Amino acid sequence: ELKVEQNPLFLSMQEGKNYTIYCNYSTTSDRLYWYRQDPGKSLESLFVLLSNGAVKQEGRLMASLDTKARLSTLHITAAVHDLSATYFCAVDFTGTASKLTFGTGTRLQVTL
Amino acid sequence: KAGVTQTPRYLIKTRGQQVTLSCSPISGHRSVSWYQQTPGQGLQFLFEYFSETQRNKGNFPGRFSGRQFSNSRSEMNVSTLELGDSALYLCASHRVSTGELFFGEGSRLTVL
């Protein structure tokens, strides 16, 4: 079965702190996506990771992919309140981006 | 540059009715995929179309169907609506060169 697991499911963190969200998947893939979703809104593309060892950074967010471990991480540096949202990872097991399997999401709450 | 456009944004139907949702992808994108998002099941893949052909289909009953037109616009149809079909339906447009998927704002369906 193709599965994508995220942890934690809920994360409450203080502004200025660092934390990591983990995304594990069940079988071989070298194409992984991270999305952000605000309440009542659609999915905003954050990162596309297309090979083993890929690392991408945008502002306070950095994503990496280890295809051998079937693991991706989304690292948050010095969190700010504006980062409060739900973060999803999604894996493309088809190799064509035609069908993504999503994780359950991590709801991030950044408090003052 | 126009993004992915979905219509209608909100709609309310009653059990047994049918509904048609529309998606216009980003200009030049030929792949369109559909996802259902519910609080209980999360984000689930419905189907994907490329050049008017269905390439992949998720595990949904036959009441869920779709099609794509020659201009890449896509529609999905749900017949004999059930209460459990209440969800946010998201359409995604695929940029082949970068592997990114861009999501529309979604159509929020409520079945009473």
Reported as a single tens digit per residue, the pLDDT across A14-26 is: 999 999 999 999 9
Identify which of B49, B31, B44 has the alpha carbon closest to the alpha carbon of residue B87: B44
Looking at the predicted structure, is the pLDDT value of residue A28 above 90? no
How would you label B32-65 residue by residue, b for 16+ Cβ within 10 Å and e otherwise? bbbbbbeeeeebbbbbbbbeeeeeeebebeeebb
pLDDT band at B1 (very low <50, low <70, confident <90, very high): low
> Between chains, do A98 and B98 touch, taking CB under 8 Å as contact?
no
Write down the mean pLDDT value for chain A.
93
Residues of chain B in contact with residue A88, where contact means CB-CB under 8 angstroms, are: 43
SS3 B73: coil
Q: What pLDDT sits at residue B16?
A: 98
> Between chains, do A97 and B101 touch, taking CB under 8 Å as contact?
yes
**Average pLDDT rounded to a whole number, residues B39-54:** 94
pLDDT band at B18 (very low <50, low <70, confident <90, very high): very high
At residue A94, what are phi and psi to the nearest 5 degrees?
-90, -20
Write down the mean pLDDT value for chain B.
95
Q: Does B62 touch chain A (CB under 8 A)?
A: no
Q: What pLDDT sits at residue A98?
A: 78
